[in-house]
Amino acid sequence: MGSYRFILSGGGTGGHIYPAIAIANELKLRYPDADFLFVGAKDRMEMEKVPQAGYKIEGLWISGLQRKLTLRNLMFPFKLISSLMKSANIVRNFKPHAVVGTGGFASGPLLKVASGKGIPCVLQEQNSFAGITNKLLANKVAKICVAYDGMEKFFPKDKIVKTGNPVRGDLVLLVENKVEALSFFGLQAGKTTLLVLGGSLGARRVNILIEQSLPFFKEQGIQVVWQSGKLYYEDYKKYESADVKVVAFLNRMNLAYGAADIIISRAGAGSVSELCIVGKPVIFIPSPNVAEDHQTKNALSLVEKDAAIMIKETELDEKFVTVFSDLVNNEALSKKLGANIKNLAMPNATKEIVNEIEKLLVQQ
């Protein structure tokens, strides 16, 4: 048979884009002569990130529905028709052997068209609470790769395969030499190191918490690697000191994880999957500003297994100091959380997803 052709569609956020790129990279390793095409939404970040990863991308005129009456909502039927028509042209011209959807509005029209033409389609759902696009597509696709148990409440049970979420490749190369990792950030060995992750853009409420807690951390002898995010870096860089390292973005995540003793993080699906592999005690502060409050559900899935701690934003003022103090001063609790979260890791997720795609290729 000639070279395979694959279409991958997903976007809007990094949580949809980076899994799609990871899957494409694994497919490319196995099929170096394959052709790849990404399909995203015209005005979203995938139009920049996918070409940076070395892949071609086509943009659809599509966006989600707002919760109130807006011009964007009135335009939605026209955008949907336009996107379905362009998707039909893309599928007809590219003739894919398989299509992969990782969530986001652009994947809806593309996978609807492809599945309607009998092309094998695979969904990859990152969260413990399924996104609306993937729920709508569930009955039309061949396989649905998930990261959490209990997803049959959203999808047909016979289509579900628990694979985990793709994570960045350098995580398997975690820096085990902690002294080396600390040296990279200019921090001291022998002190407890807190890593704060608010995402590449930043998390306003998390940043406010860390700013307020700096005197407490100093009193406790805690040193901090603080990813403030690029939206907030200018506001917080003034706190840079020997014990507080403020960065807009962490380019060497493996070193950051290697240096950390305790981690504070949002609970996006990608972050949760990475932190399982890292295997260190985590306090999740879920963002309340996401669809269906899925970050809280992601965090709870670990809390219920004694694998992490969660504090809601509304509880931070009341609970944070007590919860953090209990964790930092309780070595047994730290070890238990670290061991339990590592037991949930699925480091071969990308390979497992591509294995499922390969099974569909063989059936053609």
Structural domain of 197: 170-344
Exposure on the CB side of residue 87, measured as CA atoms within 13 A: 29
Is 127 known as a binding-site position? yes
List the CATH number of the domain containing 22: 3.40.50.2000
- Does residue 178 sit in the same domain as residue 258? yes
pLDDT average, residue stretch 290-318? 93
Instruction: Give 101-133 pLDDT, tens digit per residue.
Output: 998 888 999 999 999 999 999 999 998 888 888
Angle at 220 between CA 246 and CA 255, to 5 degrees: 40
- Does residue 291 sit in the same domain as residue 195? yes
Instruction: Give 179-194 pLDDT, tens digit per residue.
Output: 889 999 999 999 999 9
- Does residue 121 sit in the same domain as residue 190? no
Instruction: Give 259-282 pLDDT, tens digit per residue.
Output: 999 999 999 988 999 999 999 999
Is 200 known as a binding-site position? yes
Is 350 known as a binding-site position? no
Residue 39: what pLDDT? 95
Kind of pairing between the strands at 143-146 and 57-60? unpaired
- Does residue 60 sit in the same domain as residue 16? yes
Question: Where would I find the H helices in 13-102?
Answer: 14-30, 46-52, 71-94
- Does residue 160 sit in the same domain as residue 251? no
Distances (CA, A) of 58 to 86, 140, 252: 9, 22, 30
- Does residue 156 sit in the same domain as residue 218? no
Is 295 known as a binding-site position? yes
Residue 233: what pLDDT? 93
- Does residue 303 sit in the same domain as residue 225? yes
Instruction: Give 27-56 pLDDT, tens digit per residue.
Output: 999 999 999 999 998 888 889 989 999 999
Is 287 known as a binding-site position? no
- Does residue 188 sit in the same domain as residue 157? no
Does 313 have pLDDT greater than 60?
A: yes
* CA–CA dist 6, 47 (Å, integer): 18
- Does residue 9 sit in the same domain as residue 111? yes
pTM of this structure: 0.84
Question: Based on the structure, what is the number of domains in the chain?
Answer: 2
Is 314 known as a binding-site position? no
Exposure on the CB side of residue 314, measured as CA atoms within 13 A: 3
The DSSP letter of residue 152 is G
- Does residue 150 sit in the same domain as residue 180? no
The pLDDT confidence band at residue 299, using thresholds 50, 70 and 90, is: very high
Better-predicted residue by pLDDT, 62 or 214: 214
